[in-house]
Structure 1
Amino acid sequence: MSPTNSREKYGEPPKAVDLSHHLSEVSKARSLSPLKGYQKYFNRPGMIMLAGGLPDPAYFPIANLSADTLVQDSFDLSAPPALPQPSSSPFSWLWNLFSSSSQVPRPTERTAHISIPKYPPGANPAPRPPPGSPIALAQALQYGAATGIPQLSAFLREFTEKVFQPAYSDWETLVHVGNTDGWSRAVQTLCNPHEFILAEEFTYPSALASAHPFDVRAAAVKIDGQGMRSDDLRSVLEGWDEEARGGKRPHVMYTVPVGQNPTGATMGAKRKKEIYDICVEFDVIIVEDDPYYFLQEGAYVPKDRRSSGAVGGQKEEDEEAFLARLAPSFIKFDYQGRVIRLDSFSKTIAPGSRLGWFTCSPLFAERLERQGETSTQGPCGFSQALVAQLLTQQWGYKGFIRWLRGLGAQYTFRRDYMVDLLHEHFDMQPTTTVSSGAYGWGGEVYVARAKAKALPKGRGGNGFEKSQIGEKQDGNGKGKILFSLIPPTSGMFVWLNINFEAHPSFKSTSSAQDPPAQTLEEKFWLALAEAGLLVAAGLLFSAERDADGSPSSGSDANVGHLRMSFSFGEHEIMKKGIIILEKVLREFFEE
């Protein structure tokens, strides 16, 4: 039954179905923490509290927590018409924090002051005050429920309902200590030893590392320009051979559908509906890890076709248009409660806040809460207090949306700049004809060849010569393809597919006699590092793993991968990095 049909049948969003058979044996064994069970009595009027080991807030040495925060509209909603110099970059102030010797002046910041006292006027003295109460350090820094402080929980509930629009009625939100913690809890709640999870063939390596100690392995599903392919997901599930695989068919999926890490792909509504319907058919729980959701940059538009004042080829938009443009979450199609969504403030406020939240069914929320009670409890009280004060008292819902819009515009500008640099330093052309190996993603793919090198005056007639790589012609009489990419549409990374078939030693390297440690990808990564450019080697992201958890190179020996981040470096830093990439790539393929 589709979400639309479900709403038509019930007249309103249905409740989550019973999916308790997916709980792991460890999760089933969790009981209510004895001391946490007392919390339901905390707010009863006149209750004398002598049960728990709560320290007296009078002994907390922090009397007031305050900060100067950037205002909600700190960043423009459209990219500057011309590339700024590092001195005028909106992130120069951040770069200077890590470069004390820098002479680059910081731009003027517009800030607002927030302050959280231990005992604010009008605060409810109860350990668990109502959501509308002022935030008090006496409560935020106290032992608390694993659900989070009430003021933050109420904001997350409102935000999730308005932005993500779950398709069933009894969903719940629950705080966690960032998405890595959220995924780790999900693994322990859903998976037993010797089981498999479904994951994109290239995925976030820490997610695999979190599952490995529990003897939970990944079954790779092929990807394309939208991330996980629905046709290959069906193929993996239908063709599952327990004896050959050494385990039962997976009943849990891990996916990063927006800003897919490492490829930067964005999964659209149609693909999500297809995957959700397959998961209903095969009874699979979807864990949606979505830290880059608000960094949806849209399709890359080449510099010569980019309108002035546009970001990602799009003109400035209002709040409603911004939210409507974003690819919907899986939970918008989830009418059964089989999606556990992970959201994080790491990419939208700060990674060090270690703060995020689950959106899931009451069944999963209750089990995840039981686990939190005996592990992390609630996230850090300082983080919760500051973030809650920022979101509820200073920005509000609309202010946070405005912040997210500005943030997305800035990362779009950075994405465009890095891809522009690749166009500048390589002969890059769009194509739809490349169909082998990791290039067969469908849609427009950019392929890169070496540019002709300039010669000193007096040599070579017109001042240019062909690259030695260019002399290795393909069937069209052009130079060999060095790498290809689909420009990312979300997130923080550019993913390059390196065509090692163009390397002179390709045949010998693909021989079985060569040790795995000497693969061309590893050699190339090391050459870049020695030249002063550190990127992430593609092998780290492979879902195919050996028994010890180390990445497996797989069978596609002619393709390697690199992940480059455009999220942190200044424009000049990115430019220097691409210059190193071009030089090392040229020299490496001319060996």
Structure 2
Amino acid sequence: MSTQLDRQLARFEARRAAALPLPGGSGPHTSSFHFRQPPFGEKPKAKRWDHRLSIEALTQFTSELKVASRAGGPTGKAPKISLGTGRPAPQYFPFISIQMHAMNNPQDTGSDTINAEPTMVCTKGEAVYNLDIAMNYGYSAGPPQLLRWITEHIELVHNPPYADWESTITCGTTSAIELSFRLLCNRGDWILVKQYSYPGSGTTAKCQGLQILGIKVDDLGLCPDDLDGQLCNWDVQRGKKPFVLYTIPSGQNPTGTTQSLERRKAIYNIAEKHDLYILEDDPYFFLHLGEISGQRCGVDQGLEVWLRQLPKSYLSLDVSGRVMRMDTTSKMVAPGLRLGWITASSQVAQKFVNQMESGPLAPSGASQAMAYKLLDEFWGHKGLFNWLHRLSAEYRHRRDVLHRACQRYLPLEISHWATPVSGMFLWIEFTLSQHAAAGDYDAVLMVEDKIYNSALSNGVLVSKGSWFATDLDLDKVCFRLSFANASDEEFDVAVKCFASAAKEELQPR
């Protein structure tokens, strides 16, 4: 029986069959519009963002040399002979082929496939994806083969409700965050983040001279009332009112929270009210684990149910083009690929390409070839979903083991955590109402440090909550525990040790 997913994939196949051949040559100009599902006119167009772009972005354009070097150049007709580019001659590239073995199931060890014929090959002169082209300078939006797959993926999963959206590849989310801050912010501007937030983005912001305003969080993530209140009561003496909101909405790092649909709609409405631009960093979107209640969830019930239970992204709610969504292969496949993609309005996406062209240019050609071969040729869209469904089941098991260990060993009368439904992290909060450190920031840090060092001295590494804090006014001791990498037995040993350190410091003697 044909499912909705199967029908959509059949439409993609029909569209590919009827399409013109992909542009050839090194670094051809391409766009998501070449691969989008028409008609576009039924959806509204994104608003313009000239008033939100940085001075750098407003004055940055593609050089004429880069435009001319793209296959076809500005005339659209590829020259027979090129004396205009600085690309090395591909016949002198020493690589003849890349051969890859891959798994379909995260539970496989790979031992039964490593000695078999390779599942994927990219070769010199290949018609589908020529290794010579992959290893040369390319167009910063991405090669057409990979960009086609990404565009289909965005349509399939998010289907943005406005017409003029595009995707473009990135060198991973760390690079995308740095470029997006440069694209939107000038030195001295404020950005909005959660009270506890991924420190990589904070470090990037501070290096660019940006100031960070932390918004309160609860078990469902960022609090809309505090966000609205901070903006409504903004003191202009502090500087320009913030308009960039950076958020990790699913399995947030470090708190593990996943915003409900109602919470996302409330935050998006506040963004409309205050004309905010949302940077949606969502690496844990597909690590959807479900509840721990013992009831069957999508992870148990099959692919279609699991897909329906995935969160609604901000991109899928975006009617005005005020969201830049950042996706990455780091948590889906492997972080060493250093490859991802952003999706935004055409205006913002093109400015992002300009930033790429004057900075990192593109991910490694080998990474692009490997990603295309795996995601399109070997897995396809459904194969990726099957992989992620099984991967989520693996992480769900690890989360459940860690959760049970916390229940078994932690002092429940002074500890609190919300079981994450996505991601890799469990956020533990210890209340200090009965502790001498209560209300004293320096004392809170001292307590945190003692627990951390006690656990570390016994061979257990956890992450301090203060490392993620944007506000120095801490009233509780927090720790982030990851369930990504330990075994069942190691979880038990580690939490027992961590709990012992916490009890020694926090419980009355």
Please point out which of 512, 531, 544 is paired with 2:458: 531
Match of 2:437 in 1: 506
CA distance in structure 1 between the partners assigned to 2:429 and 2:277 by the alignment: 31
Match of 2:130 in 1: 136
CA positional deviation for 1:107: 7.2
Match of 1:387 in 2: 371
Match of 1:113 in 2: 119
CA positional deviation for 1:45: 4.6
- TM-score normalised by structure 1 residue count: 0.75
CA positional deviation for 1:12: 2.1
Match of 1:371 in 2: 355
**Per-residue displacement from partner, 1:124-158 (whole Å, max 9, x unpaired)?**
xxxxxxxxxx1111111100110111111100000
CA distance in structure 2 between the partners assigned to 1:189 and 1:179 by the alignment: 15
Match of 2:484 in 1: 567
CA distance in structure 2 between the partners assigned to 1:235 and 1:197 by the alignment: 15
Match of 1:519 in 2: 446
CA positional deviation for 1:396: 0.8
CA positional deviation for 1:216: 0.8
Match of 1:453 in 2: none
**Per-residue displacement from partner, 1:42-80 (whole Å, max 9, x unpaired)?**
573553111111111111111100111112xx14xxxxx
SS at match of 1:336: coil
1:580 and 2:507 are equivalent in the alignment = no
| Amino acid across the alignment from 2:100 | A
Preserved CA contact (<8 Å) 2:450 2:505: no
Q: CA RMSD in A?
A: 2.1
CA radius of gyration, larger in: 1
Match of 1:493 in 2: 425
Match of 1:287 in 2: 279
Preserved CA contact (<8 Å) 1:201 1:220: yes
- Matched ranges for 1:15-30 at <5 A: 15-30=45-60
1:13 and 2:43 are equivalent in the alignment = yes
SS at match of 1:286: strand
Please point out which of 336, 339, 343 is paired with 2:323: 339
| Amino acid across the alignment from 1:583 | S
Q: What count of residue pairs does the alignment treat as equivalent? A: 464
SS at match of 2:119: strand
CA distance in structure 1 between the partners assigned to 2:263 and 2:290 by the alignment: 17
CA distance in structure 2 between the partners assigned to 1:172 and 1:18 by the alignment: 14
Of 517-526 and 564-573, deviating more is 517-526
**Per-residue displacement from partner, 1:231-270 (whole Å, max 9, x unpaired)?**
1111111111122xx2111011000000111111111221
| Amino acid across the alignment from 1:585 | A
Match of 2:16 in 1: none
SS at match of 2:98: strand
- Matched ranges for 1:64-213 at <5 A: 64-71=97-104, 74-75=105-106, 90=107, 113-120=119-126, 123=127, 134-213=128-207
| Amino acid across the alignment from 1:527 | S
**Per-residue displacement from partner, 1:69-115 (whole Å, max 9, x unpaired)?**
112xx14xxxxxxxxxxxxxx48x5xxxxxxxxxxxx9756986211
Please point out which of 250, 255, 267 is paired with 1:258: 250
CA distance in structure 2 between the partners assigned to 1:108 and 1:572 by the alignment: 27
Preserved CA contact (<8 Å) 2:299 2:392: no
SS at match of 1:69: coil
CA distance in structure 1 between the partners assigned to 2:239 and 2:342 by the alignment: 28
Of 139-148 and 28-37, deviating more is 28-37
Preserved CA contact (<8 Å) 1:33 1:373: no
| Amino acid across the alignment from 1:179 | T
CA distance in structure 1 between the partners assigned to 2:132 and 2:319 by the alignment: 40
CA distance in structure 2 between the partners assigned to 1:416 and 1:493 by the alignment: 12
CA positional deviation for 1:422: 1.3
CA distance in structure 2 between the partners assigned to 1:212 and 1:20 by the alignment: 24
Preserved CA contact (<8 Å) 1:482 1:502: no
CA positional deviation for 1:391: 1.1
**Per-residue displacement from partner, 1:377-432 (whole Å, max 9, x unpaired)?**
11110100001011111111111111111111111111111101112224xxxxxx
Preserved CA contact (<8 Å) 2:195 2:470: yes
| Amino acid across the alignment from 1:209 | T
| Amino acid across the alignment from 1:272 | R
| Amino acid across the alignment from 1:259 | G
Preserved CA contact (<8 Å) 2:451 2:498: no
Structure 2 unaligned regions, length at least 5: 1-39
**Per-residue displacement from partner, 1:211-235 (whole Å, max 9, x unpaired)?**
1022111111111122111111111
CA positional deviation for 1:323: 2.0
**Per-residue displacement from partner, 1:420-464 (whole Å, max 9, x unpaired)?**
1112224xxxxxxxxxxxxxxxxxxxxx43xxxxxxxxxxxxxxx
Structure 1 unaligned regions, length at least 5: 1-9, 76-89, 94-105, 124-133, 427-447, 450-480, 545-551
CA distance in structure 2 between the partners assigned to 1:182 and 1:316 by the alignment: 34
| Amino acid across the alignment from 2:272 | V
Match of 1:361 in 2: 345
CA distance in structure 1 between the partners assigned to 2:466 and 2:130 by the alignment: 47
Preserved CA contact (<8 Å) 1:498 1:560: yes
CA positional deviation for 1:119: 1.2
Instruction: Rate the CA distance shift 1:411–1:511 in 2: closer, same or farther, 3 A.
Output: closer
Match of 2:469 in 1: 542
- TM-score normalised by structure 2 residue count: 0.87
Instruction: Rate the CA distance shift 1:589–1:272 in 2: closer, same or farther, 3 A.
Output: closer
Instruction: Rate the CA distance shift 1:293–1:520 in 2: closer, same or farther, 3 A.
Output: same
